[in-house]
């Protein structure tokens, strides 16, 4: 049983003892060594390093990436009419005349030149059209056969470039289309006619037998291919 507290000195309670002393202070924290950095500083440093590595890798990739397809030594044509001498056709058809330049294309992906030439006579002889297309990005090979079929070039010619197709155009001329790697060359030949004031056709020169015309056309295309690689 809990007893009542005793009275001290005639009537009051004895004052209880109160602990007022504070606990001793903690010892000071030792200084942080220089190598002990905050975690977020490490994370920030890692991000900077990763960014530098990524940038360096991207730069190295840009330097090392392939420059484009192999052009096989072909260059852009300056004056195609001057480079297309067509001496074999001139030997078969007569003196060569330059008739004029055709459309020009100079783009990062494609370089194209064309020109017209005449043989025998500017008015009534035979006219040749030459075109040269250098594909600097895409491969023209998969489409070459399709275009040859579209233009009804059904006779393959061996020994000219990668592929060559020809048609004699009913004995009135001929058309030869050649693929050599990234390059397409086309040489077409047809007979010209003169007309009078009424529009009637006048043939002022005797027609030439063009059987076997693919031989001089092939020789001239081979010479042009060599010229375009100089």
Spell out the SS3 assignment of 150-179: HCCCCEECCCCCCEEEEECHHHCEEEEEEE
Q: Look at residue 68 in the predicted model and tell me its pLDDT.
A: 81
Q: What whole-number percentage of the chain has pLDDT above 90?
A: 54
- pLDDT range class, residue 124, cuts 50, 70, 90: confident
If 0-12 CB within 10 Å is exposed, 13-18 middle and 19+ buried, where does residue 116 land?
A: middle
Question: Between 115 and 37, where is the model more confident?
Answer: 115
98 pLDDT above the threshold of 90: no
Q: Look at residue 5 in the predicted model and tell me its pLDDT.
A: 47
Q: Give the whole-angstrom CA distance, residue 118 versus residue 29.
A: 101
Q: What is the pTM of this model?
A: 0.69
Q: Look at residue 132 in the predicted model and tell me its pLDDT.
A: 98
* Contact between residue 168 and residue 213 where contact means Cβ atoms under 8 Å apart: yes
- pLDDT range class, residue 7, cuts 50, 70, 90: very low
29 pLDDT above the threshold of 60: yes
129 pLDDT above the threshold of 70: yes
Q: Look at residue 229 in the predicted model and tell me its pLDDT.
A: 95
Looking at 9-18, 22-31, 73-82, which range is the least confident one?
Answer: 9-18
Q: Look at residue 46 in the predicted model and tell me its pLDDT.
A: 55
- pLDDT range class, residue 66, cuts 50, 70, 90: low
Condensed to tens digits (0 to 9), the pLDDT of residues 175-186 reads: 999 999 999 999
Phi-psi region of 171 (alpha: psi -120 to 50; beta: other; left: phi over 0): left
Average pLDDT, the chain: 81
Q: Look at residue 30 in the predicted model and tell me its pLDDT.
A: 60
The one-character DSSP state at 217 is H
């Amino acid at each position: 049983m809990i007893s009542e507290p005793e009275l001290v000195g005639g009537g009051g309670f004895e004052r209880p003892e109160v602990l007022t002393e504070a606990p001793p202070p903690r010892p000071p924290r030792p200084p942080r060594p220089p190598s002990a950095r905050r975690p977020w500083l490490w994370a920030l440093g890692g991000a900077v390093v990763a960014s530098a590595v990524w940038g360096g890798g991207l730069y190295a990739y840009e330097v090392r990436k392939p420059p484009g397809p192999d052009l096989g030594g072909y260059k852009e044509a300056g004056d195609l009419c001057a480079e297309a001498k067509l001496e074999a056709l001139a030997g078969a058809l007569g003196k060569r005349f330059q008739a004029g330049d055709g459309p020009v294309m100079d783009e990062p992906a494609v370089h194209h030149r064309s020109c017209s030439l005449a043989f025998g006579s500017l008015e009534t002889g035979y006219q040749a059209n030459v075109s040269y297309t250098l594909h600097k990005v895409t491969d023209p090979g998969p489409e070459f056969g399709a275009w040859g079929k579209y233009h009804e070039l059904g006779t393959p010619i061996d020994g000219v470039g990668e592929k060559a197709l020809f048609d004699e155009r009913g004995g009135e001329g001929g058309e030869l289309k050649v693929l050599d790697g990234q390059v397409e060359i086309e040489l077409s030949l047809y007979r010209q006619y003169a007309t009078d004031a009424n529009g009637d056709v006048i043939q002022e020169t005797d027609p030439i037998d063009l059987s076997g015309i693919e031989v001089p056309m092939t020789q001239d295309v081979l010479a042009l291919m060599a010229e375009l690689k100089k």
